[in-house]
Amino acid sequence: MLFSKIAVMLAVLLSALAVACGSDSKPDAAPTDVPDTIGSIVVRTGENFTVDSFANNGFKKSKEFSTETVPESTAIWYGFYSQRDIEIRFYPTHELAISAGVESASEAVGRSPNSNIGGGIITSAGNRTQYNDYLVAGNAVILCQTDITPCKELVDNIPPGG
């Protein structure tokens, strides 16, 4: 009798341990239809945006940067939204935003602000911004200063087809 109680308790304990240790799911995992290299959000895949799409919906444009060091990009704008520094990189298509854009954004995200000229931008005050996350919205890759929430809100403010 005592042996069967111990066996049941041991089986329950081992089952609970197996469930706790065996879970490798990630709460923020990217959707399965996007490349594994994307750790961020991909939204509005069928739309093409311009800087005015964002500026008309709360993005405060500050400065346009040369696209020379960001392969395949057609425009790069630095500005502000919700009191955060944001950089928006535009590409001819969503596919290029996913390939070249994500590669470039992944290199910039998390890089020390003082690592080199490509690791964030230098603000008008002479400070360098460090981007901690990014999202892809249609043909644009948006680098976010602290977290992705303000960038997602900015995209959500743009009406469909806007």
Give pLDDT tens digits along the chain (162 positions). 544 444 434 343 334 334 344 433 333 333 334 444 445 688 988 899 999 999 999 999 999 999 998 999 999 999 999 999 999 999 999 999 999 999 989 888 866 444 434 444 444 344 456 888 999 999 999 999 888 899 999 999 999 876
Dist CA 143 CA 140 (whole Å)? 10
What is the predicted pLDDT for the residue at 130? 80
Residue 10 pLDDT:
38
Give pLDDT, residue 134: 93
pLDDT for residue 81: 94
Let me know: does 79 contact 56? Beta carbons within 8 Å: no
What pLDDT score was predicted for residue 141?
A: 96
pLDDT at residue number 162: 67
- DSSP assignment letter at 69: T
| Architecture of the domain defined by 41-157 | 2-Layer Sandwich (3.30)
Largest CA distance in the chain: 78
Rounded CA-CA distance 141/93 in Å is: 11
Domain residue spans of the chain: 41-157
Give the per-residue pLDDT at 26.
Answer: 32
DSSP letter, residue 71: T
